[in-house]
Amino acid sequence: MPRSEVAVDDAYRRRHMYLFLLVLVVGTQVGFQGWRTLFNNFAVEVGGLSGFDVGLIQSVREVPGFLALTALYLLLIIREHRLAALSVCVLGLGVALAGLLPTTAGLVFTTLLMSFGFHYFETMNQSLTLQYFSRAEAPLVMGRLRGAAALTNIPVGAAIFFLARAVGYTGMFALLGGVAVAAGLWAMTRDPSSVDIPLQSKRMTLKARYWLYYVLTFLGGARRQIFVAFAVFLLVQRFGYSIEQVTALFVLNNVVNFFAAPMVGRAVNRFGERAVLSVEYAGLTLVFAGYALTDSGLVAGALYVVNNVLYNAAMAIKTFYHKIADPADIASGMAVGFTINHIAAVIIPLLGGLLWLADHRIVFLGAAGLSLASLLFSQLVSSELAKGPARA
């Protein structure tokens, strides 16, 4: 095939892969963001759950992330894009069933189902993005997809804000989960794959030269789970945020992130991974210290928005790996990364729930310490990149 025709076909495949991932990202966000928005109030108001119960459920939620490595074995029998679509269907089913099972055991079950779908999709999403887009394109695509996710969350938040009281928790969970299932079913009918992509390793790949990627991923997972499990819980339990206030905060957060996420993607290309990660980790140290020390619900809400903006910079860890990894290691690297990310995350929400009973400030000061450790390790990114790019 002439070079011009190869280029046209390559661009065609990239466009279709982008559309494929975009639809699945939107479906995932409708289900997952809806679950996140409703969960804490549902757990407190309907289930009567304590901080320990919430910590337990959040720990269970991270078990599928720890098992994300098993996605490699599923790839022996199903192609990556098919697994991505199926995962979104499973996520939607877990969300749809959540409103029917308000007990601790019921929420453990539906959360596990939702979480398997979410983590498997995110593994495939990141893998396909790094495989199909160049090192310069990947951060831009990641930023655009994150921006699309933020934009999706705005109407989701508005729908919950206006319909939650009329429809009820059960109806809202079913509606949001149904949208995710529909997106997954649509994607099952599409094939955006290409035979020109390097064949991916179907086994766990741990290599010494990826050590910094593993360390940053581990610290990020431990720190992020404190945020996911306890930031909104702090707003609801300590500062008395209602479901309408939590939803309004989520809408504001996503308006800000719709603009911020693509800017972070461009910043990775312009300033490099080390600079972007340094800003993220320094900022997160201050944010988590702020959670621990503030007595103002307004300040805590503002910190939540800043927290989410800074987390966009985590894409720089993926682009760093993209630049040092062998092309055949992309899929396994994303799966291994998700597992490493969740090693501490399986334990930390439960431990945080116990510490919360003593003093909530201990939980957030621990996260500030993890952010400082990440800041120190991120200074080594440039030296690892200087050792040479991945083999072509």
Give the span between the Cα atoms of 24 and 325, in whole angstroms: 26
pLDDT in tens, 241-272: 887 788 788 778 878 888 888 888 888 888 88
Residue 86, pLDDT > 90, answer yes
pTM summary value:
0.74
Q: What percent of the chain has pLDDT over 90?
A: 24
Quickly state the pLDDT bin for 392 (edges 50, 70, 90). Answer: very low
Give the span between the Cα atoms of 384 and 323, in whole angstroms: 10
Rounded average pLDDT over 21-47: 85
- Is residue 288 within 8 Å of 361, Cβ to Cβ? no
Give the residue extent of every domain in the chain.
3-191+203-386
Q: How many DSSP H helices and E strands does the chain contain?
A: 16, 0
**Arithmetic mean of pLDDT over the chain:** 82
Give the span between the Cα atoms of 29 and 118, in whole angstroms: 10
When comparing pLDDT for 202 and 361, which is higher?
361
What pLDDT sits at residue 345? 66
What pLDDT sits at residue 1? 45
Burial of 196 (C-beta count, 10 Å sphere; 0-12/13-18/19+): exposed
Q: Which residue type occupies 272?
A: G
As its CATH architecture, domain 3-191+203-386 has Up-down Bundle (1.20)
pLDDT in tens, 89-109: 999 999 999 888 877 788 889
